[in-house]
């Protein structure tokens, strides 16, 4: 499987590809995350367009979607490192989520939240120069087609409560703990993950 790497003109500074007319999904594959479950990925020539969490609804069936391939080795290595608990950023895995301009702005801001950090919805709204858009940021998080790689699990409420997660609150807790968070109930303990 040949997948081209993105050029600087293809993406924003955070590795999020700018969708282009006619950009179609070209392959799909599965990744087995030890202790987590199977992730299903779909990608175009520009990057990953969908990542389905365990138990989630995959956008294609094997018969109806693009051909099934092994995911590229470089992506496999990054995911292996992540699920072993290593501190990594997902810059080596290009993403190309499809959505509205506002959603893509939110998702690009999420890609800038570092591993081991959390950001409140209000902070993400401020990051996109729309400080009153906290609810809209939450809605964009819920529509994120590439969870983990576009780390919407790193967004919490202002009072450190976890808030929601499209993959379920237990999955959000698991991902945050994997990144070093100490949680009590549905809250990130102060001092464990800094609010940026």
Token pair listed for 83 = 């699920």
Contacts of 164 (CB under 8 A, 6+ apart): 138, 141, 142
Tell me if 16 sits within 8 A of 107, measured CB to CB. Answer: yes
Token pair listed for 165 = 């997660």
- The one catalytic residue in 71, 140, 148, 152 is 152
Contacts of 28 (CB under 8 A, 6+ apart): 40, 41, 42, 43, 60, 62, 65, 66, 67, 68, 69
Residues facing 95 on adjacent strands: 16, 48
Q: Is 75 a catalytic residue?
A: no
Q: Hey, which residues are catalytic here?
A: 152
């Amino acid at each position: 499987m040949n997948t081209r790497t993105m050029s600087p003109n293809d993406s924003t500074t955070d590795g999020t590809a700018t969708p282009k007319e006619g950009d179609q999904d070209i392959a799909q594959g599965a990744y087995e995350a030890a202790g987590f479950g199977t992730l299903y990925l779909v990608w175009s020539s520009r990057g990953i367009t969908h990542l389905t969490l365990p138990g989630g609804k995959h956008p294609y069936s094997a018969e109806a979607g693009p051909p099934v391939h092994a995911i590229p080795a470089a992506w496999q290595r990054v995911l292996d490192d992540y699920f072993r608990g290593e501190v990594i950023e997902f810059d080596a895995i290009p993403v190309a989520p499809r959505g509205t301009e506002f959603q893509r702005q939110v998702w690009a801001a999420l890609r800038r939240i570092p591993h081991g950090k959390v950001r409140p919805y209000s902070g993400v709204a401020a990051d996109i120069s729309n400080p009153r858009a906290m609810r809209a940021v939450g809605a964009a998080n819920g529509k994120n087609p590439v969870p983990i790689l576009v780390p919407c699990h790193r967004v919490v409420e202002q009072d450190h409560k976890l808030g929601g997660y499209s993959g379920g609150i237990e999955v959000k807790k698991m991902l945050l703990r994997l990144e070093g968070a100490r949680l009590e109930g549905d809250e990130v303990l102060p001092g464990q993950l800094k609010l940026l």
